[in-house]
Structure 1
Amino acid sequence: MSKFDGELTQREQEFLKIRRDSDTKAAELVKMEKMLQQTKSLWDKKTESSSESMVEDLEERVRSSRRQRRNSLHHTQMLESQMKTVKGELVGTLDHLQELRNVLRRSQEKAEERKLTMERLAAGHR
């Protein structure tokens, strides 16, 4: 049981790390978007012809960052789903193990009762 708890705790920690990383990347993306807007404003003040290619490059970087963010969020959602599945399986396994433990305990109690009965019968035949 503690093995499953440990595995679940480890997966929860991995999930939290991924979520923090995703949040950090999202915050970085917001900063990058602000920087892009500031840079774009500066370039607009300068000549249009030389700045267009740089602005396009920066815009492409923002689009790429947005794609990466979407992919990270999708990956996080997949991991959340997998973790829920594993957690459900672990709960089912734990329930099954508890059920087996109860069956074993009852079997041991019956065996002990039979042993005592046999000892009484053997003592009665002497």
Structure 2
Amino acid sequence: MSKCHSELTQREQEMLKIRRDSDTKAAELVKMERMLQQTKNLLDKKTESESKEDLEEKVRSSRRYRRNSLHHTQMLESQMKTVKGELVGTLDHLQELRNVLRRSQQKAEERKAAMEKLAAGLR
């Protein structure tokens, strides 16, 4: 029972870590969108002769980073859903085990009462 509880606690910790990672990636996405907008604004301000190609590469790089970050965030969310599903399954299993334990304890108490009754009858 404690093994299941520790496994459940471990899964909850993993889920919290995934959530934190997801929040971090979301914040990074917002930051990258701001950087992308700033880069675009700089590109608009610069003349054709200034390093337009460098700025375009930064925009492409920012877009790649944003796509990668989005993909990573989606993977983390998928992992979080998987862990959540596993936690639900573990919880269901723990509830089943608790019910079995209750029934076993009840049967043991009934047998003990029957044994005491038999013992009293033999006296």
Normalising by the residue count of structure 2, what TM-score does the alignment of the two structures yield? 0.82
Q: Is 1:37 aligned with 2:34?
A: no
Residue identity matched to 2:32? K
Per-residue CA deviations over 1:66-123 (Å, capped at 9, x if unaligned) read 1111111111111111111111111111111111111111111111111111111111
Match runs of 1:41-120 below 5 Å: 43-44=47-48, 48=49, 51=50, 54-120=51-117
Please, what is the CA RMSD of the aligned residues? 1.8
| Whole-angstrom distance in 1 between the partners of 2:80 and 2:28 | 17
Q: In structure 2, what is the equivalent of residue 23 of structure 1? A: 30
| Whole-angstrom distance in 2 between the partners of 1:116 and 1:11 | 52
Residue identity matched to 2:73? T
How far residue 61 of structure 1 moved from its aligned partner, in angstroms, is 1.3
Normalising by the residue count of structure 1, what TM-score does the alignment of the two structures yield? 0.80
Q: How many residues align?
A: 116
